[in-house]
Chains A and B, each alone.
Chain A
Amino acid sequence: MFGGYLPSNYLPIVVFIIIAIAFGAGTIVAGYLVRPKKTYPEKLSPYESGMKPFSDARTPFPMRYYIIAMLFVLFDIEVVFLYPWAVVFNKIGLYGLIEMMLFIAILLVGYFYAWKKGALEWD
């Protein structure tokens, strides 16, 4: 299945994930048995400082957050490239260094473009 390689180091992680989910779900289920369940419309209404909400909360929200998310994806890819590069840095030598400097330089161009375009401004 793994081409003959069994990642046995990862087995405890899988077990841990299962246990963590079980802990979360188990606590909620156990709590369900003991906690009170007395609901009425006022209690179930969403909190808006004690007043009746004006409207549904699912309204369109500004583009700003979307731009941040897009920028994040770009930069996160960079981070992902940097990790393996950092680990094998000693082995790949000058070629690797220059290569990564170029990569960062290209990214910085985009970064300053975004900065100048005002994508990083909040107002």
Chain B
Amino acid sequence: MHEKVLIKEPATEKTFRDTEDYYFPAYPQEPPHYPLSKTDEEEGGNFFRSEDMLVNMGPQHPATHGVLRVVLDLEGEKIVKATPYLGYLHRGVEKLAENMTYQQFITLTDRMDYVASMLNNFAWVRAVEKLMQIKVPERAEYLRTIIAEMQRIIGHLFWLGVQALDIGAMTVFFFTFREREILIDLFESLCGARLTYSYFRIGGVDSDLPPGFTGKLHKFLEEFPAKIEEYDTLLVQNRIWLARTKGIAYISGEDAINFSLTGPTLRGSGVYYDVRKAEPYAAYDKVKWRVPLGKSGDTYDRYWCRMQELHQSSAIIKQCLEKMPLGPIMAEIPGMTMPPKEKVVTEMESLIHHFKIASSGMKVPKGEVYCGTEAHKGELGFYIVSDGSGKPYRVKVRSPSYIHIGALDHMSRNYLIADLVTIFGTYDIVMGECDR
């Protein structure tokens, strides 16, 4: 008997916004075959009369967040179709991973989403740990949570500044960078780098918090709500901002799921999905926090979600700082994780392990693993195929920016060019991650 397979219909061309269907006649299956003359076939077949203007937006454009290229089909200023073209920042990160040990690849994940490198590190080490089934010590889990949430705040601040700048509110950009600077200074004291941190290690983290770190962080967290208020006064109490964000780039929860959007972009449509809650990792299940959900699925709701996440992130950090136990920050599994430096210089076995891991990689079991981590943009996942050697056989990155771009056409149709820049902003795309 034929089994009934329940597959959700993919989002159709028609949404509530399209009152007329003027793009392409919808062909459910094969397009009907019209015999073409030979010359016609060479020319590319039939096409329809159109008064639209085809415009390139990007790769060299001040508002496309790097090198995204979108070919716009414009009718006056209205977007009839928006086709993103990717790959202008493709560096072959996935392929490079195949020639690197698992430990070495951490530095390359920094270069993917350079706005929030820590979260990339986190996603990668989590995937590798899942593959190797390493249990990370508790203090390291708390440290990771604190750092990841700090990075989430940085990412959201960056997003807020850029989104506001795209809409024309220049001052917010500088204000958010002021706060971002404080956190980046903290990261600098933590691991020496300001942009590409490589702080996470497989099995733990690189170092414990430096002296004075918690004090500064507490001070920041105390001042932060007032700063969020400041952004809100500049934006939410501003009618122009509301007019530019409310009802713009609407996407229904169902469509958002079908486009596999994640993160605030999905939660803005009211879908409750957060990897931190769905399959808790690190210390997220040990602290109290809530997932902000939007109602109407427009740019404003996604903005609201992210602003609330700033509050939630600070709450998580505060609780983690309180609850964080003392203890080791690296798992010690011989042959799998790097032994600590003190042991390397004193013990023979550790020296050998260190040498083995550094030269030929870790002992990784054969198998495949997918592990998603909630980055500030959405679910950042790594799919690793291991053949049992020290280097991954194949790595696939599920980058939220890339997935979100898939919904660009759907979300931008029938809006104006001016709204397109808000839509780039609302995804929070970073081309380094999108093209990898």
Contact = CB atoms under 8 A, between A and B. Distances in A.
Interface of A: 48-51, 53-55, 59-62, 64, 123
14 contacts: A48-B55, A49-B57, A49-B58, A49-B60, A50-B56, A50-B58, A50-B59, A51-B56, A51-B59, A54-B55, A54-B71, A59-B51, A60-B51, A62-B75
A62 B57 contact: no
Interface in B61-88: 61, 64, 69, 71, 75-76, 78
Contacts of A50: 56, 58-61
Interface residues of B, number: 16
Contacts of A51: 56, 59, 69
A49 B78 contact: no
Nearest to B78: A123
Interface string B24-61: 00000000000000000000000000010111111111
Interface of B: 51, 53-61, 64, 69, 71, 75-76, 78
B7 to A, nearest CB: 35
Contact of B61 (A49, A62, A123): A49
B183 to A, nearest CB: 33
Contacts of A54: 54-56, 71
A50 B61 CA distance: 8
A50 B70 CA distance: 12
A85 to B, nearest CB: 35
Contacts of B53: 55, 59, 61
Nearest to B415: A123
Given A49-B69, A54-B54, A62 B59 contact: no
A123 B19 CA distance: 12
Contacts of A123: 78
Contacts of B76: 61-62, 64
